[in-house]
Amino acid sequence: MTRETHITIEAQVELQFSNGNVSHMTIKDIPCLWRWDETSRDCAEYWAALDHVTDNYKFDWMTIRSWTGSPKKEGESQ
């Protein structure tokens, strides 16, 4: 049996675009699956935030300033 928890992440990120503009964003509702026996929760949350940003934004550089995550409640969509 795989031990795992579905988490929703909120991340504070800073992106710089090719035109030199810098944007500070709060991105909410980033899905994350933490598999307990494979990695730490912090690592799973960080990579979920990073993957979301790289998959959805075009930028020159970025940093994740902070992130938080909470387990989904029973019965919520996965």
pLDDT band (50, 70, 90) for residue 77: very low
Burial 46-55 (b: 16+ CB within 10 A, else e): bebbbebbee
Per-residue pLDDT at 72: 64
pLDDT in tens, 1-53: 789 999 999 999 999 999 999 999 999 999 999 999 999 999 999 999 999 99
The phi and psi torsions of 13 (rounded to 5 degrees) equal -125, 155
Domain boundaries in the chain?
A: 4-68
pTM across the whole model: 0.84
